[in-house]
Amino acid sequence: MFILLLGAPGAGKGTQGSLLADRLGVPKIATGDILRAAVKAVTPLGREAKKFMDAGKLVPDSVIMGLIKDELAKPAAANGAVFDGFPRNAAQAELVDRTLAERGQRLSHVLLLDVPEDELVRRLLNRARLEGRSDDTPETIRTRLQVYQRDTAPLVAHYAGRGNLHRVPATGTIEQIVIEIKRIVGR
Ligand code: ADP
């Protein structure tokens, strides 16, 4: 099973993605986590990505496409994975679709975690206080939400057209959202 979690920053993709991946026994692949690890380790990838992440912008596809290909090629992801934080634009979606299709696979479910914008901002500002993520400042949050609307939200129509998009109202408790996702995915 390959499951894509779509949703704005702060929608809870990371939390639900980890729980879902554990239930399914597949890896969760989160490009944001991989990039943050690269920034911390001061690798060339991390050094390049940091400028964009701190500004709340997407890391350019020239940097991200190789990373996505490498992750999909890992043996652990041969038969399933939960994708968190990618694809984030049309070109990345095309790469994911094509890579899976070449293997005779496809996304089994696309889950759109749906949270109103004022709640997203509240959550991200709260996370800033708790975790101190360098891109959780009011200005960067505004940019990230704009980038989501411009580049990532159009993927909702892309997947809705194929009929495997499921909208998950994601303002309830973590447990309520788990129940809803279990209902959709069947596990
Ligand atoms: P959030 O969705 O809460 O903003 P992420 O951890 O998914 O958090 O992403 C943090 C930052 O990492 C993004 O603002 C962006 O700069 C970068 N990033 C993560 N994934 C991608 C991707 N697939 N393509 C481009 N940039 C990405």
CA of 3 to the centre of ligand 1 (A): 18
Q: Return per-residue pLDDT of the chain as tens, 187 residues.
A: 999 999 999 999 999 999 999 999 999 999 999 999 999 999 999 999 999 999 999 999 999 999 999 999 999 999 999 999 999 999 999 999 999 999 999 999 999 999 999 999 999 999 999 998 889 999 999 999 999 999 999 999 999 999 999 999 999 999 999 999 999 999 8
Pocket test residue of 58, 112, 134, 150 for ligand 1, highest count of atoms within 8 A of CB: 58
Residue 156 has a pLDDT of 97
Catalytic, 98? Answer: no
Distance CA 9, CA 124 (A): 8
Buried b (16+ CB within 10 A) or exposed e, 148-167: beebbeebbebbeeeeebbe
Residue 50 has a pLDDT of 97
- Which residue's C-alpha comes closest to atom 6 of ligand 1? 32
Residue 24 has a pLDDT of 97
Residue 132 has a pLDDT of 85
CA of 49 to the centre of ligand 1 (A): 10
Distance CA 111, CA 23 (A): 16
Catalytic, 106? Answer: no
Ordered DSSP codes for 114-135: E--HHHHHHHHHHHHHHH--TT
CA of 9 to the centre of ligand 1 (A): 8
* Active-site hit among 28, 50, 88, 123: 88
Residue 134 has a pLDDT of 85
Distance CA 72, CA 151 (A): 22
